[in-house]
Amino acid sequence: MGGLFLDVFVGYLLRSLAGAWKGRGGGNWPTANATVTADPASIHGFGGGGVEVVYSYRFEGEPYTGLHEEPVFGGSDIEHIERFPTGRSLVVRVKPTDPEVSVVGDGDQTDGIRKRLERMDEHDRNASRKPTP
């Protein structure tokens, strides 16, 4: 059982690192508005499951499509599927020297920012409940 968990975890890390490698330096790339063009698909393979999200965007007047893989580790992909319905607007980062390369960054999405703020609020509430010695 432990070996299977380790295989899944290592696979998850490798898939996550591959996504990070694709978008290295992407934090400085210009943004573009994108639209999810199809219902997300569940994917299963080495490293566990995930969700594939297909989207389209325009950069400097030219149309492009992109594919975002959202890895899911230790949970259900339903939340991720519900997060990316067909027609949803996204913000993508576009590599200026190769506009066919784009990445979806959680920090660029309003729902990602909202979730981060909610976690910070919860952390602050929990910290204020701790008794001081």
pLDDT at 15: 46
* Torsion sign over Cα 4, 9, 14, 18: positive
Which range is least confidently modeled, 26-30, 55-59, 76-80, 117-121?
117-121
Bridge partners (DSSP) listed for residue 108? none
Query: How far, in Å, CA of 99 to CA of 53, rounded?
Result: 18
Strands (E), the chain: 31-36, 41-45, 48-59, 62-72, 89-94, 102-104
Dump pLDDT digits (tens) for 55-107: 999 999 999 999 998 877 666 668 778 888 999 999 999 999 999 999 998 88
- Can you tell me the distance from the alpha carbon of 104 to that of 53, in angstroms, rounded to the nearest whole number? 10
**How does the average pLDDT of the chain come out, rounded?**
75
State the pTM of this model: 0.64
Give the pLDDT of residue 125. Answer: 62
